[in-house]
Amino acid sequence: MRRRQFNTRKSENCLPKCPTGIRGLDEITFGGLPRGRPTLVCGAAGCGKTLLGMEFLVRGAKEFDEPGVCLSFEETAEELAANVASLGFDVPSLVAANKLAIDHVYLERSLIEEAGEYDLEALFVRLGHAVDSIGAKRVLLDSIEALFAGLENEAVLRSELRRLFRFLKERGLTAMVTGERGQNGLTRHGLEEYISDCVIVLDHRVTETVLTRRLRVVKYRGSTHGTNEYPFLIEDRGIWVLPVTSVDLRHPASLDRLSSGVPALDEMLGGKGYFRGSSILVSGTAGTGKTSLSAHFVNAACARGERCVFFSFGESADQIVRNLRSIGIDLGRWVDKGLLQFHVARPTTVGLEMHLVKIHRIIGEFAPAIAVLDPVTGLIHAGTAIETNSMLLRLIDVLKEKQITALMTTLTGGSDAAETTQVDISSLADTWVLLRDIESGGERNRGIYVLKARGIAHSNQIREFVLTSRGVELREVYLGEAGLLTGSARVTQEARDASAALAASQEAESKHLVIEHKRKVLEAQIAALQLDLATAEQEARQVIAQDELTLRKHEQDRSDMARSRSANTGPREAGVKSAKARGGRQ
Amino acid sequence: MKRFGGGGADPPGAKWDLKLYVAGQTAKSLQAFANLKRICEEHLAGEYRIEVIDLLKNPQLAKGDQILALPTLVRKLPEPVRKIIGDLSNTERVLVGLDLKARTAKAGS
């Protein structure tokens, strides 16, 4: 911690820096070139030394209000202006505005005779004059080694060069000095001997027919600097150095969820879909529907009014739109509405870095919510696997930083295990959806499963993935005794299941009828018995009522008789008589 | 400029038009002028004109003639333009540079 503070203070206070304005270079050098000192830029012919120097001057003039002088020993002012015009730098107007001065210094040895002692005072005069006339703060000497070819007396030249760099330092000019790469040293004529503050080496290499340019800060006295070789490229807005290691893992993590566009897949992803700003990898063998799945995601996002960008490294935009129409997705309307942009490039047309820069720029300009790279493995052909890997790493970091959800498809070879991606980017992906072929019963069907989904409770099921005219549909795969069934095998099994279910339900139905019948029979019997019972009860009640009536009649008769006899005869006798009478009647 | 002693003979239609570029009156520039004057008087008497240009006073003039080393002698006329750098102490090379070597050889024969 203490050391870090010390370093920071050192770089801020002890060594003033001069920002170049060149994208990426200031990051690598932690702020720019050493202010008021010369920096040596060396490299082989055609590796971009002059462009780097010119961009240093032009950006200084335009962005930092630091006018610059270019002493060109090789090209005329017109040639230089024309060369950098392709980078969008309007040199003539900067010259007219007194922000830039170009002096072409030309020496033709055959037309010069050396007769006696001389020095290069006129060079100082010219440089001093140019600097004073526009108040320059920056100087480019490109490439001063041409003097070695133009002058015989190397001893004089060397002492004059030493004087020149001292002169630049005394005037407080931040200078860039270019030199051709030499056999034994950094430069052919040992310029590094004079310029020891900062040395940048440019290099270009052709690997499998693809050119990659690289930049390395070999030396930076008094300052920390990135020591790697950084790929850089020259595109239509100047030089772009791509720092690999300067991005730190501090991107925010969103809780927002985005639908995958396929409801069943959302269901598999905890019911809500992907996280916003996450990186999604869709891998699968050829023809498993990776693009279709991507299209669903894009379609859903556009329908929500979010902007999407689709980088295709295999198909043309028209072809993609046409093909997706066959599964009922019309991406053309989103293009028309300006919500969707297609960017198509053959991976091999330009180097990997060029692709990366293009992607960066498009993303910067269009500010999409979603970026699709289809297929990302196509980029392998633009570089080596290691380069592709580091490029994707950088790209994903950039996308995450901007909270752009990235969907990348990768093509896995048929012979590889399904879980192998050609480029080892699986660890970079937050969500990995795997599409695979399931071969059985003489047909090929598609299966989908979520291999991983960081932070999402995802399904562990394999589903069957079907492309219909209404888009992607997921079906439950049949897991039976015969194992996993898909396609027509699944359909057959489903039919079999259905008929079995029908038979079972019919059987149940007939059982129901039997029971119903029995119930009805028994109910009828119950009703009959109940009727019997009721009749019997009725009769019994009638008998009892009759008996009571008879009894009361007897008592009445007896009391009547007693009254008529006026004598107390025993009621018992009478009772017996009446009972006898009644029994006779029955 | 006066210290250089003027351009010597300065005929209006001089065949030889010479420009000597210097930066201030340094030892080298004075030496160069003296040497030039001597050689011209010797080989081109009455036919030459010398113009001394001090770049400290007119730095913008260095660009036009592509002057880098000092002193530089530029032979504007007769064409083609030739340049000789240095204090001109090596007379032989000055004569070669001015294309006078052949002439002197012819005159001598």
Same domain, A35 and A118: yes
Q: Angle at Cα B56 formed by Cα B54 and Cα A50, nearest 5°? A: 110
- The domain that holds A200 is classified in CATH as 3.40.50.300
Domain contains A247: no
CATH architecture of B14-104: 3-Layer(aba) Sandwich (3.40)
Same domain, A507 and A570: yes
Closest to A229 in 3D by CA, of A204, A264, A210, A248? A204
CB atoms within 10 A of CB A18: 25
Checking if the pLDDT of A480 tops 70, the result is: no
Cβ atoms of A246 and A287 within 8 Å: the answer is: no
Question: CB distance B23–A125 less than 8 Å?
Answer: yes
Q: From the DSSP assignment, how many helices (H) and strands (E) are in chain A? A: 16, 25
ipTM: 0.84
Closest to A362 in 3D by CA, of A346, A351, A373? A373
Checking if the pLDDT of A567 tops 90, the result is: no
Q: What is the pLDDT of residue A110?
A: 80
Q: Which residues pair with A72 in a beta bridge?
A: A104, A142
Domain contains A141: yes
* pTM more than 0.90: no
Residue ranges with strand state E in A143-188:
174-180
Same domain, A500 and A540: yes
Closest to A454 in 3D by CA, of A289, A278, A319? A278
Residue for token digits 């069934």? Answer: A485
On whether any CB of chain B is under 8 Å from the CB of A151, the answer is yes
Checking if the pLDDT of A9 tops 60, the result is: no
Same domain, A103 and A202: yes
In chain B, the residue whose alpha carbon lies closest to the alpha carbon of A116 is B86
Q: What is the pLDDT of residue A71?
A: 92
Locate the domains of chain B by residue range: 14-104
Domain contains A250: no
Q: For the residues A355-362, what does the mean pLDDT come to? A: 80
pLDDT band at residue A246 using 50, 70 and 90 as cut-offs: very low
Question: CB distance A116–B82 less than 8 Å?
Answer: no
Same domain, A227 and A263: no
At A550, list the tokens: 């008879």
Checking if the pLDDT of A49 tops 60, the result is: yes
pLDDT tens profile A146-193: 888 888 888 888 999 999 999 999 999 999 999 888 887 788 888 887
Residue for token digits 């660009």? Answer: B63
Domain contains A481: no
Same domain, A213 and A299: no
pLDDT tens profile A536-548: 999 999 999 999 9
Question: CB distance A113–B83 less than 8 Å?
Answer: yes
Question: CB distance B88–A118 less than 8 Å?
Answer: no
Domain contains A319: yes
At A109, list the tokens: 């040895």
Closest to A571 in 3D by CA, of A581, A580, A561? A561
Cβ atoms of A201 and A192 within 8 Å: the answer is: no
Question: CB distance B56–A115 less than 8 Å?
Answer: no
A–B CB contacts, 8 A cutoff, strictly below? 96
Main-chain phi, psi angles of A242, to 5 degrees = -105, 100
At A372, list the tokens: 């699709």
Q: What is the pLDDT of residue A6?
A: 39
Closest-CA distance, A34 to chain B, in angstroms, reads: 28
On whether any CB of chain B is under 8 Å from the CB of A129, the answer is yes
Domain boundary among A409, A441, A476: A476
Closest-CA distance, B41 to chain A, in angstroms, reads: 18
Same domain, A355 and A453: yes
Question: CB distance B84–A121 less than 8 Å?
Answer: no
Q: What is the pLDDT of residue A463?
A: 83
In chain B, the residue whose alpha carbon lies closest to the alpha carbon of A71 is B63
Q: Which of A240-244, A245-249, A396-400, A566-570 has the highest mean pLDDT?
A: A396-400
Cβ atoms of A472 and A289 within 8 Å: the answer is: yes
Total domain count, chain A: 3
Closest-CA distance, B17 to chain A, in angstroms, reads: 17
Q: For the residues A447-453, what does the mean pLDDT come to? A: 85
Closest-CA distance, A115 to chain B, in angstroms, reads: 5
In chain A, the residue whose alpha carbon lies closest to the alpha carbon of B83 is A112
Domain contains A205: yes
| Range of the structural domain that residue A511 is part of | 491-583
Checking if the pLDDT of A51 tops 70, the result is: yes
Same domain, A290 and A405: yes
